[in-house]
Amino acid sequence: MRPELQYRGRLAPSPTGYLHLGHARTFWAAQERARTHGGILILRNEDLDSTRYKMDFVDAMIEDLRWFGFEWSEGPDIGGPFAPYNQSERIDLYRAAFEKLRAGGFLFPCTCSRKDIQSAVRAPHVEDEDEPIYPGTCRDRKSEVVDGKFSWRFRVPDGETVSFVDGNFGVQSLVAGKDFGDFIVWRRDGVPSYQLACVVDDAAMRITEVVRGADLLKSTARQILLYRALGLTVPEFYHCELMKDDAGVRLAKRHDVLSLRALREKGASPESLRQNW
Q: Give catalytic residue positions.
A: 253
In single-letter form, the type of residue at position 118 comes to: Q
Instruction: Report how far apart, in Å, the C-alpha atoms of 32 and of each of 12, 64, 252 are.
Output: 15, 18, 23
Per-residue HEC secondary structure of the chain comes to CCCCCCCEEEECCCCCCCCEHHHHHHHHHHHHHHHHCCCEEEECECCCCCCCCCHHHHHHHHHHHHHHCCCCCEECCCECCCCCCEHHHCHHHHHHHHHHHHHCCCEEEECCCHHHHHHHCCCCCEEECCEECCCCCCCCCCHHHCCCCCEEEECCCCCCEEEEEECCCEEEEEEECCCECCEEEECCCCCECHHHHHHHHHHHCCCCEEEEEHHHHHHHHHHHHHHHHHCCCCCEEEEECCCECCCCCECCCCCHHHEHHHHHHCCCCHHHHCCCC
Verify cis geometry, omega within 30 degrees of 0, for the bond prior to 135: no
Residues 44/202, Cβ–Cβ less than 8 Å: no
Distances (CA, A) of 201 to 85, 205, 241: 9, 6, 24
